[in-house]
Amino acid sequence: MSQNFRLTKDGDFDTASMALALKIPVVADVTLINVAPEGSIVLDDATKVIYVSIGTAWVSTGDISGPALSTNNAAAIYDGVTGQVLKNSALIVNGTTSSIATFDASTSVKTDSILEHTANAGVTVDGTLIKDTSVTTNSITLQTTGGATQGALNYYENFSYAAVWVYSLTNTNTTFYLTRLGDIVVLRIPAFTFNTAASAVFNLDGATPIPSRFRPSVQVSFPINVISAGVGVIGTIAIASSGASTIYGGAFTSGGNPTFNVGDVGIPIDQVVTWSVI
């Protein structure tokens, strides 16, 4: 039975004339039925796609079909290899900004570069905030450039100055190197030698002690290689909590402070000692 629809003067369908609805025949698989006269319409129940006969073949009225239900703002992905069927996915896209909101736990992201599009905001990966110059995790910021607040775990500093080691009445200028990373300090003792006619110890000039931010909380002592009267021996360097430092010409003991013997004295090679500021 045919149904004629009347148009109103405004160009709309007259709803009174649409009392009878069109019913499209449903077939199990359009590929299994013969081609009907041109203009015939059927619904393929398997694919939920409407096909129209062109007299010689059935053609679909649309290229893509999808599920009856989907997740709001979920990205649609292809189901199969036909390029015509879509399915729901767990990839959620922000409907306002078009940014990706969440990934499914099984999603893998492989990239050589993650671009930060919001200035100074950084990128958060699995709860870890990654910035241009630092990585913040569990409220601890690990600096990659620059220093930080003294006393913090992320504090570090490289420092050097021309230190004056006083030996008897003779002064020798050397470059003094200090590095602090968190609470750990590293002192590099430069090599130097000279000749003296006195027996004494090396003292860091009181005007240039180790800066307070590098000092140990209590005196620390370390064995080092020294030259005493032209002979290489094991000496000692002691760093006090005041920043005063002393180099002894022998192994330091509680029974005394061994001095250097007369002759060529000094430090034969660059050496490193380390301590904690706490």
Q: What angle do CA 233, 234, 235 make, to 5 degrees?
A: 110
Contact 159/178 with Cβ under 8 angstroms?
yes
Q: Determine the 3-state secondary structure of 54 from DSSP.
A: coil
Q: What is the pLDDT of residues 47-86, one digit of tens each?
A: 777 888 888 888 776 667 778 788 888 888 888 877 778 8
Q: Which domains does the chain have, with CATH numbers?
A: 15-60 (no CATH), 64-110 (no CATH), 157-276 (2.60.90.20)
Q: Determine the 3-state secondary structure of 212 from DSSP.
A: helix
Burial 239-259 (b: 16+ CB within 10 A, else e): bbeebbbbbbbbebeeeeebb
Q: What is the pLDDT of residues 224-257, one digit of tens each?
A: 999 888 899 998 888 999 888 888 888 866 556 7
First-residue to last-residue Cα distance in the chain: 96
AA identity, residue 18: M
Which helix (H) or strand (E) segment is 59 a member of? strand 58-60
16 pLDDT band, cuts 50/70/90, is very low
Q: What is the pLDDT of residues 120-163, one digit of tens each?
A: 566 666 666 666 555 555 555 555 444 555 555 567 788 887 76
**What is the C-alpha R_g of the chain?**
42
Q: Would you mind telling me the total number of residues written for the chain in this entry?
A: 278
**Which of 209, 199, 201 has the alpha carbon at shortest distance from 257?**
201
Q: 16-20, 65-69, 166-170, 198-202: which has the minimum mean pLDDT?
A: 16-20
pTM of the model: 0.47
